[in-house]
Amino acid sequence: MSSVEWPSLLSRLIAKEVNFKWRLGSKVIVPTVGLISKLWMQCLNSSHVQNRVVLLDTLAKHYKNKDKRPLITISNHSSCLDDPLIWGVLIPMKWQLNAGRHRWSAAAQEICFTNVLYSMFFAMGKTFPIIRGKGLYQPAMDYALNLLKDGQWIHFFPEGKVVMRNKEIDSLRSPRLETHVNVSEDIDCEVKPSYDLKWGLARLLLDHVFNDNTYPEVEVLPFYHLGMDDILPTQEPYIPRVNKRTTFYIREDGPIVVNRNFLSELMDDISSLSSKDKRIKIMRFFESEMNSLKVKAIEIHNNLENIVNIKH
């Protein structure tokens, strides 16, 4: 079947327009998938999380704050099961059981929203469909902007796709990282060998900060993970595996507060820059943050691997 058109099926999923059936389904699907993820990641595999308390404190503050402060988490994307499995590691049991406090996430329409059944399942799992190649101003991006205005938590993979890691480079303690911000507005541009971030995050931040008069700032918390492509390989056979090890490194300094002051400091004479130049500067900043986290994650991951090898 062809993909279910957005937003014909899912247009009533925000705030007061959410219907009873969706709420009920979400209260079943989100905890069920969360518990399976936790079982798979913590019982059948092992994980190390650096600075986990930073994420938990950020989430606690986010849901305690009555001002509906919007929150975005971002990470690299190395496996088709990154979401939901990473939350099986990062989110405690009490959060897994509360669908209302779980993240929203974007998903590829051509994979997750191909028919009504899949669409309802993933929608109840708090995902919304991104149409590759439709650019920055497609309905799904407007939907994400509305979620921010409603003070929701959204997780993004700013690479926009699963990116296979060079494990030979990752085996080095201090790798030299190439960086490259995608300067095309096409969400589904060709794969490049360097670290590549799309512009969607920049568009949301700019639109929210400069157009939302209620709470014109967003907290963005980056983290980096390694080993997810061992649990679900990116090459055939695509069979989930056990007895693998993952490492997560969460930004030690906590979330980055993106507001008008932050953007003005990031950009010289912001008023004179084009929309394109603003997006490039924002994504270069987050690219630098992600690469810094990657270096630290690789060092910890390799040190833990050496400890395991010594024990054996």
71-93 pLDDT tens trace: 999 999 999 899 999 999 999 98
Instruction: Give the 3-state secondary structure of residue 284.
Output: helix
Average pLDDT over residues 194-200: 73
pLDDT at 111 over 90: no
Average pLDDT over residues 126-137: 88
Average pLDDT over residues 258-272: 91
Average pLDDT over residues 215-234: 93
Question: For position 188, what pLDDT does the model report?
Answer: 38
Picking from 17-26, 27-36, 253-262, 294-303, which range would have the lowest pLDDT averaged per residue? Answer: 17-26
Question: For position 277, what pLDDT does the model report?
Answer: 92
Question: For position 280, what pLDDT does the model report?
Answer: 92
What are the tokens at 150? 């409603």
Average pLDDT over residues 113-137: 88
Average pLDDT over residues 256-260: 96
Q: Tell me if 84 sits within 8 A of 38, measured CB to CB.
A: no
Neighbouring residues of 217: CB distance < 8 A, sequence distance ≥ 6: 69, 70, 209, 257, 258, 259, 260
What are the tokens at 280? 């490039």
Share above pLDDT 70 across residues of the chain, in percent, rounded to a whole number: 80
| Phi and psi torsions of 175, nearest 5° | -70, 150
pLDDT at 38 over 90: yes
Q: Tell me if 35 sits within 8 A of 148, measured CB to CB.
A: no
Q: Tell me if 173 sits within 8 A of 303, measured CB to CB.
A: no
pLDDT band, residue 7 (cuts 50/70/90): very low
Short-list 6, 220, 33, CA closest to 108: 6
Specify the pTM: 0.87
CA angle 123, 127, 128 (to 5 degrees): 85
- For residue 69, the 8-state DSSP code is -
Question: For position 234, what pLDDT does the model report?
Answer: 81
Q: What is the mean pLDDT of the chain?
A: 83
Question: For position 65, what pLDDT does the model report?
Answer: 67
**What distance in Å separates the CA atoms of residue 277 and residue 228, rounded to the nearest whole number?**
33
Residue spans per domain, the chain: 15-311
Share above pLDDT 90 across residues of the chain, in percent, rounded to a whole number: 53
**What distance in Å separates the CA atoms of residue 87 and residue 96, rounded to the nearest whole number?**
8
Question: For position 295, what pLDDT does the model report?
Answer: 94
Question: For position 18, what pLDDT does the model report?
Answer: 55
**What distance in Å separates the CA atoms of residue 141 and residue 282, rounded to the nearest whole number?**
17
**Residue 268: count of CB within 10 angstroms of its CB:** 9
Average pLDDT over residues 13-42: 81
pLDDT at 14 over 80: no
What are the tokens at 8? 């014909």
Residue bearing the bigger pLDDT, 87 or 135: 87
Question: For position 166, what pLDDT does the model report?
Answer: 66
Question: For position 25, what pLDDT does the model report?
Answer: 87
pLDDT at 184 over 70: no
pLDDT at 28 over 80: yes
Average pLDDT over residues 178-199: 52
Short-list 297, 196, 304, 184, CA closest to 244: 304
pLDDT band, residue 197 (cuts 50/70/90): confident
What are the tokens at 197? 């971030």
Q: Mean pLDDT: which of 116-120, 174-178, 211-215, 293-297 is highest?
A: 293-297
Which residues in the chain belong to E strands, given as ranges?
A: 46-50, 71-75, 104-108, 127-130, 153-156, 179-181, 195-197, 218-226, 245-250, 256-258
Query: Cα-atom radius of gyration of the chain, to the nearest Å?
Result: 19
- For residue 99, the 8-state DSSP code is G
